[in-house]
Structure 1
Amino acid sequence: MEPFKNYFNQDLIEKTADIFDRGPARFDRKHFVTLAAAELEGLELKERATQIMHALDQTLPAGFDEFEEAVLASLHKSEDPSGEGLTFDGSGLMGFAAWPITDLVTHRGLRAPERALPLLKEVTKRFTAEFAIRPFLVEHRDYTLSVLNGWVDDRSRHVRRLVSEGTRPRLPWGLRLSEFVADPAPILPFLKALRDDKEDYVRRSVANSLNDIAKDHPDMVAEIAHDWLKDASINRTRLVRHACRTLLKAGHGKTLAAFGYEPVAGLTCDLSLLTPKVVFGEALEFEAIIKAPVQKAPVMVDYAIHFVKANGGTAPKVFKWKDAKLQGGHLCATRRHAIKPITTRRYYEGSHKLELFVNGVSVATADFELCI
């Protein structure tokens, strides 16, 4: 979100003030602008949103009835302005401009979920309340789950997505839902109900939630994948594959089997290094010839490079390669893997290892030298 740091600027604050100034509730515009814009340049994106939230808290009516009326009146007239997420013309809160309000609804309404949750439902149609709803799942878990259960069939795609995205156990940048990390059973019915949603936007959220769950319960997600893939549509198959992306990359046996990637009996692999010595900035090149005593078999071919670490040890990094079929029991492929400067890795010279996997099973290794 760093590239959007300056989104919350003086102009946005003035437009926000205009919206509430013409609203039905009492509002101290001048005081709000002063508080919201104080030392703005030194703040990061989230800090700016929080400062605007506190400024609204101090200048909007304290009573929840008047506050609710003011919030509803401030929202963009369209219930689905998502395509304009970074555009804010001041006609009504939408996109990132509505972020401070989602936080304020939680700040004021956490002790009154019966009032706050319906308000978040309206705001999420203009900007996601996936972060704002999470404290309610911690403080009022059962009640919030019962409310979300009534939203899985809502006509708004944003509300339906809030059900799956707001309950993700490990939502990036969001409050971790430790209870669901330990036991995701309470949210699984939501994911099942939304798996065939007509909107890809919602289905991808379901997939991301399952991917979260897979980090702690891989066998559970493998079983879900096996069940959901039975007579699955193209869209559901894509969802399940996206949900299992981490497990497939890791070569998790039960997940691979759910997709039909079983160990192939009698399979052999000749792995040849075309560049046994690699100069930093160039590329590792290799060829694999895979054979098996079967005419056709689905194979997922991955490889790992065991990179040398600062202490002289090695650590593997897995890379996707091919998803294919052994035609006539044979597959030949070459690969060029660039070894060049990247921000996420520091390279060390010395002996590295290349390892090849077919359907999650290690089938060949070869050593190469990296020269820096």
Structure 2
Amino acid sequence: MPSADELIGLPAVDDLISAIRTAAPGADLASLRAARSRIAPLALRERADLLRDALLTDLPGDYAALDRTVRHARDHAPQFTGWLIWPVTGAVATRAVQDGGTAAFDGAMALLADLTGRLTAEFAIRTLLRHDLDRALGIITGWTASADTDVRRLASEGTRPYLPWSTRVPGILARPGVTVPILDALYRDESEYVRRSVANHLNDLSRDHPGLVVDTARRWLADPGPDTGRLVRHGLRTLIKRGDPAALGLLGFTPATVEVDGPHLDRTTVPAGGSVRFTAAIRNTGSDQARLTIDYIVHHRKANGGQTGKTFKLTTRVLAPGEQITVVREHSFRPITTRRYHPGMHAISLQINGTESARADFELDGA
């Protein structure tokens, strides 16, 4: 992932100032110029918010005035593209809500759809969804038939319950299924870009409403497009890792009679930053063919001394009666930004079609 400086750094600020000067030559832009000296210590979203607020200060007036300025920059400033669009779309949505009228609201929705090809408007649209969910969803539903791939993708991505880097939309979280009609219109979309957003949206929904997600996926599989199977597998990935029986069954992973020997570890003490290698033998002891999704769980030690599991995909296999396979994996504990490792007892187990095996314990040394 590029750094904040590479995405919304001083070059982006300067391009934004230049573009707005092209569109509003009489504006002083003091707040935008002052933002240059304040941006360095800020994270990416904080930078977008800083520039959004500076734009709103430097361009006072009603929504219509801001709309004209942004459209002029779009049409006459070649540098008006890329990550600088994030604060611009944020300003558009905020000013529309401040205006309070339906004309401003609808105008902002249209402008966000127009700008989303320059940089996704998925973050800014959350402001409008929070302000008037039903009106926004009515407009967004129409976007699912757009000829523009970016607009269709915005319809799904912008309404995700747990969109990364974004604010939550309480109305979406409180009304299970309110965004499903959007997904129904897009799951067979010709664009992989759109379909991947649909799968991620479905996966978001699975955090709180697994039954709704499985029912939705079942409907799609009954009326599929060429890529629906892959989309559904991606959309159910969290439920599969959780061992959800309904999701597993929908994908053909029914309870199986297997014998597991392992996991066996190559060491009982792992140095900080090191790795542990494990092997396990899995044999189908039943009389029928067994279709297996095989994951492994690392049970990390928490700061309070307890453990929390993190599931990782291992393999998917079909075993004939009596057939045996051996699985091998090396798991690294090198430092990463998304997890803090606590020294002490950890464990590894397998999960086969949602059923966990015995655990193998090991000690993770401190730094």
> Cα gap change, 1:158/1:369 in structure 2, threshold over 3 Å: closer, same or farther?
closer
TM-score of the pair, normalised by structure 2: 0.87
Alignment of 1:317 with 2:310, yes or no, is yes
Residues 140-219 of structure 1: matches in 2 within 5 Å?
A: 140-219=132-211
Name the CA distance, whole Å, in 2 between partners of 1:371 and 1:106.
49
Shift in Å, 1:7? 4.0
Structure 1 match to 2:285 = 292
Partner residue, 1:22: 22
C-alpha displacement at 1:311, in angstroms?
Answer: 4.4
For the residue of structure 1 that corresponds to 2:324, the secondary structure is strand
The one-letter amino acid of 2:64's match is: D
Please give the per-residue CA displacement for 1:242-282, whole angstroms capped at 9, x wherever unaligned.
11111111111100000000002x43333362536344334
Q: Which of 296, 299, 310 is 1:306 aligned to?
A: 299
Deviates more, 1:277-286 or 1:322-331: 277-286
Cα pair 2:284 2:320 within 8 Å, conserved: no
| Structure 2: stretches of 5+ with no match in the other structure | none
Q: Which amino acid aligns with 1:58?
A: T
Query: 2: distance between equivalents of 1:327 and 1:349?
Result: 40
Query: Any idea what SS the aligned residue of 1:22 has?
Result: helix
Structure 1: stretches of 5+ with no match in the other structure: 78-89
Q: 2:220 aligns with which of 215, 228, 237?
A: 228
Q: Tell me the CA shift for residue 10 of structure 1.
A: 4.1
Q: For residues 211 and 252 of structure 2, what CA distance do their matches in structure 1 show?
A: 16
Does structure 1 residue 331 correspond to structure 2 residue 331? no
Q: Which amino acid aligns with 2:350?
A: L
User: Share of identical aligned residues, percent?
Assistant: 32
1-structure distance, mates of 2:182, 2:300: 41
Q: Which moved more, 1:332-341 or 1:192-201?
A: 332-341
Which residue of structure 2 lines up, in the alignment, with residue 86 of structure 1? none
Does residue 1:275 correspond to 2:270, yes or no?
no
Contact 1:249 1:318 in 2 (8 A): yes
TM-score with structure 1 length normalisation? 0.86
- In structure 2, do the counterparts of structure 1 residues 108 and 297 end up closer, same or farther at CA, with 3 Å as the change threshold? same
Equivalent residue of 1:290, what SS? strand
Say whether the 8 Å CA contact 1:165–1:171 is kept in structure 2: yes
- Return the alpha-carbon distance in structure 2 between the equivalents of residues 230 and 244 of structure 1: 16
SS at match of 2:144: coil
Assess, with a 3 A threshold, how the Cα gap between structure 1 residues 276 and 39 changes in structure 2: closer, same or farther: closer
In 2, Cα distance between equivalents of 1:165 and 1:208: 8
Q: Which residue identity does 2:282 align to in structure 1?
A: I
Residue 343 of structure 2 is matched in structure 1 by 348
| CA displacement, residues 180-223 of structure 1 (integer Å, 9 cap, x when unaligned) | 22323221000010101111111111111111110001122122
Amino acid at match of 2:188: D
State the one-letter code of the partner of 1:19.
Answer: A
Structure 1 residue matching 2:143: 3-state secondary structure? coil
Structure 2 equivalent of residue 125 of structure 1: 117
Contact 1:349 1:371 in 2 (8 A): yes
String of CA shifts for 1:19-55, please: whole Å, max 9, x gaps: 23333x5532563653443434344433333333333
> Where does 1:81-160 land on structure 2 (aligned, <5 Å)?
91-110=78-97, 111-112=100-101, 113-160=105-152
Counterpart contact for 1:306–1:315, Cα < 8 Å:
yes
Task: Classify 1:125/1:329 alpha carbon distance in 2 versus 1 (closer, same or farther; 3 Å).
Answer: same
Corresponding residue pairs, total: 356
- Structure 2 distance, partners of 1:9, 1:307, is 37
